[in-house]
Amino acid sequence: MDISCFKHLSEFEWHLPATGAMRVPAVIYADEALMRAMDDKVREQAANVAMLPGIVRASYAMPDAHWGYGFPIGGVAAFDPEQGGVVSAGGVGFDISCGVRCLHTGLKAGDLTPLQERLADALFYAIPAGVGSTGQLRLSATEMDAMLSGGASWAVKRGFGDAADLERIEEGGQMQSAEPSQVSEQAKKRQRDEMGTLGSGNHYLEVQRVVEVCDERIAQAYGLAQDDVVVSIHCGSRGLGHQIGTEFLKQMAVAAASHHIVLPDRELACAPIDSAIGRQYLGAMRAAINCALANRQILTHLLRQVFAEVLPQARLPLLYDVSHNTCKVEEHEVDGHKRRLFVHRKGATRAFGPGHPDIPPALRPFGQPVLIGGSMGTASYILAGTERGMQLAYGSACHGAGRAMSRHEATRRWRGREVIDQLAERGILIRSPSFRGVAEEAPDAYKDVSAVVEVSDKVGLARKVARLAPLVCIKG
Amino acid sequence: MNMANEAGHAVQHWEHFAHEADMGVRGIGSTCAEAFEQAALALSAIVTDLAAICPTQKVEIACTAPDVELLLADWLNAIIFEMATRHMLFSRYEVKLADGHLAGVAWGEPVEAARHQPAVEPKGATYTSLVVRRQQDGNWLAQCIVDV
């Protein structure tokens, strides 16, 4: 990216002043190397977001920002309903509430070694993954609505997981003010047999080892120690969320003119928060968040069943569950005043700092766990939200490595079978229904997640707590 | 699929174009409808090799939109919906366009993971890089980024 038009305010903070139709500046948190490696489209998209009505303070981009659609991936923006603020279907994206959850196992890496192959095979058998895969569950219309209102809380009531899981999920596992009646029949149809499925692409279930503890105090509070085995699940609201995104994107794009909104990019389709379509979208989008939370909860249940069979001594309490693609109502201090804002995070993680009331009591003094996924051959990270992050970007941090090359280029360079064999030699077992899918997700197709995390830590968006390395990866 | 024109140049064809996180689909045709058909093939090719899909079952698709670009996104999204809910893959398309309406047919078969090795499921056709236009050479272009 050409960085000449940015003001370099500090080592990791780059401001694009508000010009033309921009209402506020665009701010990117990154070091110079990450800035230069970003596509020019990131600047263009961050500037476009800054043109939307009611945006407060700035349009932000995280260190892993890359060219998205409408918003950059890694984009954060808050809107004030009292200033004509908008909610944007494009600003949330198709995979509503796509996120990561991480579970303890109580095991050390050495406990797993003799059973690693068996565990990989059993997980691959039990976890529906890949294009066209279906779950065991079929929901009646009434149950579908109950799920869309209840989220992970609904899943626990139906026997998927423990009540103790709920306090370790954003919103206590249940997004309030969800309106299943705003979710179309087509969206519900698309979800009919997709409950408890992983999906495909960059979605995964990964058994991981803690290879480095970076902050002993917080790691201890999070229950993490060197060589611990944990399990991470990355997936979202499946077809239901995709369909809601699709439908409201069109409705908002078509209705923009009637709301006197000039869209710099149609993908930024949005509507006033205080409008019929804005309220309808919020109700549907919150239902999709519940769908994602329920989906990850069901997968957690399947995961626990596999561990009970293969490693019965394991116990899998939930460390935390974060969502990446959301719009949430939050209270933030802006210029000394508390304001109720609609915070969009598109490929960005909520990262509330110590003391925030939305963090479960046991973790509250240490900041919210922030779960960062890497690629299947490299590393993932656990970070903690900071007080400074609350000021920098409404308590937000990066969400992952971001792709370094297109899927097409990845399949040109690598064969799935070779990737699997090479990773197996390094002790990482991959199970996937698609060799081509594995090639597209090859470790080197992603940027270096460590560089992104390092900058997030240094700039103060979130504090580095632990680094995880993969042992088993189930890819969709 | 490529069909050569009189000068020997391929008129009808599809291709993918690069996007950092996702994939661009592009269809070229001598008519707008042909470009839509080719863009749909590019969409199918995100998932698997088109040659591996037997076009044995027929699904009819209809869409309406206020302009031709939104109609392309609607068309691709309707295919994504049919792929997802029928668990099918498609390798042949036919499109008729008239006054903002699209009447389409997709031919394909149920997905078989072992045989098709489906790489990734498209989530939705976005409005990013969404373009439908007649080019200077007279051929039609229909393209957008697909979220995968």
Residue range A374-429, pLDDT digits in tens:
888 889 999 999 999 999 999 999 999 888 888 888 989 999 999 999 999 999 99
The verdict on a CB contact (< 8 Å) between B70 and A200 is: no
Question: Sorting pLDDT into bands at 50, 70 and 90, what band is B67?
Answer: very high
For the segment B33-55, what is each residue's pLDDT rounded down to a tens digit? 999 999 999 999 999 999 999 99
The verdict on a CB contact (< 8 Å) between A201 and B16 is: no
- Residue A230: HSE in the Cβ half-sphere, 13 Å Cα cutoff: 30
Nearest chain B residue to A187 by CA: give it.
B81
For tokens 């979605």, name the residue. A203
The verdict on a CB contact (< 8 Å) between A246 and B77 is: yes
> Given a cut of 80, is residue A297 above it in pLDDT?
yes
Which residues from B are below 8 Å from A437, CB to CB?
A: 117-120
- B residues 73-112 near A, CB within 8 Å? 73-74, 77, 80-81, 84-85, 87, 110-111
> Given a cut of 90, is residue A133 above it in pLDDT?
no
Q: How much is the pLDDT for B4?
A: 44
B51: contact with A, CB 8 A cutoff: no
- B residues 112-131 near A, CB within 8 Å? 113-114, 116-121, 123-128, 130
For the segment A345-375, what is each residue's pLDDT rounded down to a tens digit? 999 999 999 999 999 999 999 999 999 998 8
For the segment A146-155, what is each residue's pLDDT rounded down to a tens digit? 999 999 999 9
Provide the domain count of chain B: 1
Nearest chain B residue to A42 by CA: give it.
B20
Considering only CB atoms, A69 lies closest to which of B80, B87, B126, namely B126
**Quick one: what percent of chain A has pLDDT higher than 90?**
92
Considering only CB atoms, B121 lies closest to which of A186, A199, A250, namely A199
Q: How much is the pLDDT for B92?
A: 98
**Quick one: what percent of chain B has pLDDT higher than 90?**
84
The verdict on a CB contact (< 8 Å) between B121 and A254 is: no
Q: How much is the pLDDT for B6?
A: 45
Domain A7-404+446-475 has CATH 3.90.1860.10: yes
Which residues from B are below 8 Å from A440, CB to CB?
A: 119-120
Mean pLDDT estimate for chain A? 96
Nearest Cα of chain A lies from the Cα of B19 at a distance, in angstroms, of 6
DSSP-assigned states of every residue in A430-457: EE-S-HHHHHHT-GGGB--HHHHHHHHH
Q: How much is the pLDDT for A55?
A: 98
Which residues from B are below 8 Å from A250, CB to CB?
A: 65, 70, 73-74
Question: Sorting pLDDT into bands at 50, 70 and 90, what band is A68?
Answer: confident
Neighbours of A119 (CB within 10 A): 22
Q: How far apart are CA A456 and CA A452, in angstroms?
A: 6
Considering only CB atoms, B124 lies closest to which of A130, A245, A406, namely A245
- A residues 420-439 near B, CB within 8 Å? 433-437, 439
A105, containing H or E segment: strand A99-108
A190: contact with B, CB 8 A cutoff: yes
> Given a cut of 50, is residue A165 above it in pLDDT?
yes
Q: How much is the pLDDT for B10?
A: 65
> Given a cut of 70, is residue B2 above it in pLDDT?
no
| Domain at B41, CATH number | 3.55.10.10
Q: How much is the pLDDT for B18?
A: 82
**C-alpha pair distances (Å), A79 with each of A19, A42, A90, A356, A370:** 19, 20, 14, 21, 23
Token pair of A48, please? 């476009």
For the segment B83-131, what is each residue's pLDDT rounded down to a tens digit? 999 999 999 999 999 989 999 999 999 999 889 999 999 999 999 999 9
This model's pTM is above 0.90: yes
Nearest Cα of chain A lies from the Cα of B84 at a distance, in angstroms, of 7
A254 in helix, strand or coil?
A: helix
Concerning whether A399 is annotated as a catalytic residue, the answer is yes
Q: How much is the pLDDT for B5?
A: 44
> Given a cut of 60, is residue A235 above it in pLDDT?
yes
For the segment A238-272, what is each residue's pLDDT rounded down to a tens digit? 999 999 999 999 999 999 999 999 999 999 999 99
As a whole number, mean pLDDT of residues A468-475 equals 96
Nearest Cα of chain A lies from the Cα of B121 at a distance, in angstroms, of 6
As a whole number, mean pLDDT of residues A211-228 equals 98
Q: Do B23 and B128 touch, CB atoms closer than 8 A?
A: no
A231's CB contacts (< 8 A; 6+ apart) are A102, A103, A105, A205, A206, A207, A208, A303, A316
Nearest Cα of chain A lies from the Cα of B33 at a distance, in angstroms, of 21
Q: Do B79 and B42 touch, CB atoms closer than 8 A?
A: no
Nearest Cα of chain A lies from the Cα of B112 at a distance, in angstroms, of 8
* Residue B41, domain extent: 3-147
For the segment A419-433, what is each residue's pLDDT rounded down to a tens digit? 999 999 999 999 999
**Domain spans of chain A?**
7-404+446-475
> Given a cut of 60, is residue A92 above it in pLDDT?
yes
DSSP state of A90: H
SS3 content of chain B, % helix, strand, coil (to 5): 30, 40, 30
For the segment B4-27, what is each residue's pLDDT rounded down to a tens digit? 444 445 689 999 998 777 889 999
Of residues A385 and A70, more confidently modeled = A385
The verdict on a CB contact (< 8 Å) between A132 and B119 is: no
Question: Sorting pLDDT into bands at 50, 70 and 90, what band is A210?
Answer: very high
A243: contact with B, CB 8 A cutoff: yes
Q: How much is the pLDDT for A405?
A: 85
Closest CA to A365 of A232, A259, A217: A217
Q: How far apart are CA B110 and CA A342, in angstroms?
A: 42
- A residues 93-152 near B, CB within 8 Å? 93-95, 130-134
